[in-house]
Amino acid sequence: MTFVLRLALDTLVLPAAPVAIAAAVARTNRTASTVAAAAGIILAHVIEVGVPRIPPIDTIGWIPLAVAVAAAGVLVEHRALVRLAVTFVVVAIATRLIGRTTATPWCLLAGSVAALVDGSLDLASRRMAPAATTLSLSVAMAGASITCLFGHSALLAQVLGASAFVIGVTAIFVEPARTVASIAVVATVSVLVYARLYAELSTLATALLVASAVAPSAASWLPLARRVRPIVAVITAVAFSITAALCARA
């Protein structure tokens, strides 16, 4: 029981603390939701992995640094095209640093996928409530956590699970800015790159997780009532995530 309580404290309660603080001010200052989400994700990495050295000994230590750089970039400029550029550049560089010798085309591919997901979420947030889009993304992140767990990588599962909880709390209790999704995408894609390189996450499972992340965009274009689209987005994200988890377990 003590272990379960400690695990819950480290994985859920502590990373969500910045979001709880931001809830008091985010109604008047939406930048607070971005700062809180980034702080929560970084705190999750620090709790689960430890404080990274500069440069990190284990390349997973580059991920919280990438999140911090992305947060600074999207806070300086909120325009969609700039956010997409920041997402692309940060993830591409993070992929090179995580993989050490990763070829440039793969770095550009990872950056392009991250920008694609970020752009799709931005479009979805224009046709659905931003909170619904962010909540759907947190479901996809939780699915990635379960997939990593089934793929025998408990550490990555904890990191992604804590990050998903942070984004979910942000979506429910704070009015999330669109920049929150950009930060979450940078964190999630970077972890998936690490899982693909070092935890043998399959290409199919990775593709299914990406599909679960773009589910809100697909749902937002369906000829359905505005209130129904978020439900379809969440259900679609869950379906893709479960399929990815089953692929990782096979």
pLDDT tens digit sequence for 50-77: 888 888 888 999 999 999 999 999 888 7
Cα maximum dimension of the chain: 50
Contact between 130 and 178 (Cβ < 8 Å): yes
Across the range 93-99, mean pLDDT stands at 94
pTM of structure: 0.88
Q: Which range marks the domain in which residue 204 is found?
A: 2-249
Q: What is the dihedral of CA 80, 61, 40, 107, to 10 degrees?
A: 20
Q: Assess whether pLDDT exceeds 90 at residue 32.
A: no
Q: Nearest 5°: phi and psi at 149?
A: -65, -45
What is the b/e burial string over 182-192, where b = at least 16 CB atoms within 10 angstroms of the residue's CB? bbbbbbbbbbb
Least confident range from 3-17, 116-130, 164-178, 230-244: namely 3-17
Distances from the Cα of 206 to the Cα of 58, 63, 126, 229, angstroms: 22, 18, 26, 24
Structure letter (DSSP) for residue 61: G
The single residue listed with the structure tokens 């709790």 is 47
The pair of three-digit structure tokens given for residue 77, joined into one six-digit string: 């400029």
Structure letter (DSSP) for residue 221: T
Q: Assess whether pLDDT exceeds 50 at residue 28.
A: no
Alpha-carbon distance 161 to 32, whole Å?
Answer: 22
Model confidence over 161-212: pLDDT tens digits?
Answer: 889 988 988 888 777 778 889 999 999 999 999 999 998 899 999 999 999 9
Model confidence over 121-139: pLDDT tens digits?
Answer: 998 888 888 888 898 999 9
The pair of three-digit structure tokens given for residue 73, joined into one six-digit string: 């970039």
Model confidence over 137-147: pLDDT tens digits?
Answer: 999 999 999 99
Total number of domains constituting the chain: 1
Alpha-carbon distance 22 to 15, whole Å?
Answer: 13
Nearest to 89 by CA among 70, 64, 116: 70
188, HSE (Cβ side, Cα atoms, 13 Å): 35
